[in-house]
Amino acid sequence: MKDRLRGMQQSLKRFNIDAMLVNKPENRRYLSGFTGTAGSLMIDNNKAYLFTDFRYVEQAKEQSPDFTLVQIGNDYYQKVLHLLQQRGLKKIGFETDFVTHESFAKLQQELSGIQLFPVKNITEELRLVKDMEEQQLLQKAVDIVDQAWSEILSIAKPGMTEEKLALELEFIMRRKGAEGRAFDFIVASGERGALPHGVASQKEMKPGELVTIDCGAVYNGYHSDMTRNFMLGKPNQKQQDIYNIVLEAQMAGVEAVRPGVPAATVDLAARNVIERHGYAQNFGHGTGHGVGLAIHEGPRVSFNEQLVLQPGMVLTIEPGIYLPGWGGVRIEDIVLVTESGGRVLTKTPKNQLPVI
């Protein structure tokens, strides 16, 4: 945590502010280790404070030893102002993408004499590159999904609803150590596979349908994300062909992951394959996204993302083809950027379309 705190303190100089207020839960956790649901950080060049109420005092002491704990009731703003005045701090940043207009108006009203500066992505930029501890936690979250996939294939069958399958999958992940699901699972069978975010419904899966599952686990705050497909019966030629095209595109995207290239280069590698096969209009989302304390974070892997990949970044590669009235296919792995290229953390096989 000390390295993360130092990183934030160095960023203050770059943003030309005296201190930063941090309220977004994943940013608060990243910088302090505090997992309580109510709290705020104030970080300046030399000191770091954690504000929380009576419920979380002992937890904060244990989880955030590098922070000075300030217990609050209804006097949060008064205590922040007192510390700012005491330390002679005038220019204070706040998270412009998280603080609501109402909260900002309250800050302006209560922090009299303090200059408030909207700051975007100051913590998120630090979170782009995962340290070794974060990489290990992400691998554990990935492993849980890998282990659950083999079990869910033995449970899935025609006549089962998508919701039932999603629920069984979540139960399996929790038994294997997940603290929760990373998002509402996508289980899209048959024609519903054309919905990129076809959250599990009450539709019954039928023989001859291709099923797409997009799922993830949370382990110690870190998220995994994987998409795989299976057939309820032998695939027809079109189902196999579409699967093979998406697989080719996904592997091309993974192969393009390496340090020093813009994220857009990875997107283009996958997108070119799908375009070459004539399905450019049926792949309308980015090829991937970063993953960590949030299920979607930087870097974006899209056609216009010029952020250069660095070792330690972790991202998904998930191209797809979606055909209204027919269905769809998406294949997704989590990939770690290393000094020599991309290392796929996801181990669930993908080279063959599973048949149930």
Q: Report pLDDT digits (tens) over 204-261.
A: 999 999 999 999 999 999 999 999 999 999 999 999 999 999 999 999 999 999 999 9
CATH number at residue 73: 3.40.350.10
* Share of residues in the chain with pLDDT > 90 (%): 99
> What is the tens place of the pLDDT at every residue in 263-272?
999 999 999 9
State pLDDT tens for residues 171-190. Answer: 999 999 999 999 999 999 99
In the structure, what pLDDT confidence band is assigned to residue 40 with cuts at 50, 70 and 90? Answer: very high
Q: Residues 8, 55: one domain? A: yes
Total count of domains within the chain:
2
In a shared domain, residues 65 and 174: no
Q: Are residues 153 and 68 in the same domain?
A: no
Q: What is the pTM of this model?
A: 0.96
The pLDDT-based confidence of 53 (bands split at 50, 70, 90) is very high
Same domain, 205 and 221: yes
Pair (122, 200) in one structural domain: no
**Residue 22, domain member (yes or no):** yes
Q: Are residues 115 and 224 in the same domain?
A: no
CATH code for position 234: 3.90.230.10
Residues 136 and 38 reside in one and the same domain: no
pLDDT score of 1: 83
Please report whether residue 355 resides in a domain. Answer: no
Query: What pLDDT does 113 receive?
Result: 93
Classify residue 110: in a domain, yes or no.
yes
**Structural domain contains residue 276:** yes
Q: Does residue 351 fall inside a structural domain?
A: no
303 located within any domain: yes
Q: Are residues 328 and 201 in the same domain?
A: yes
Task: Say if residues 313 and 322 touch (Cβ distance below 8 Å).
Answer: no
Statement to judge: residues 59 and 188 lie in one domain = no
The reply to whether 356 falls in a domain is: no
- The domain in which residue 26 lies consists of 2-127
pLDDT > 70: percent of the chain: 100
Domain shared by 195 and 215, yes or no: yes
Same domain, 123 and 154: no
Q: Which residues pair with 55 in a beta bridge?
A: none
Same domain, 160 and 229: yes
The residue out of 106, 127, 148 marking a domain boundary is: 127
Domain stop point among 127, 156, 186: 127
Q: Is residue 237 assigned to a domain?
A: yes
Residue at which a domain ends, from 83, 106, 127 = 127
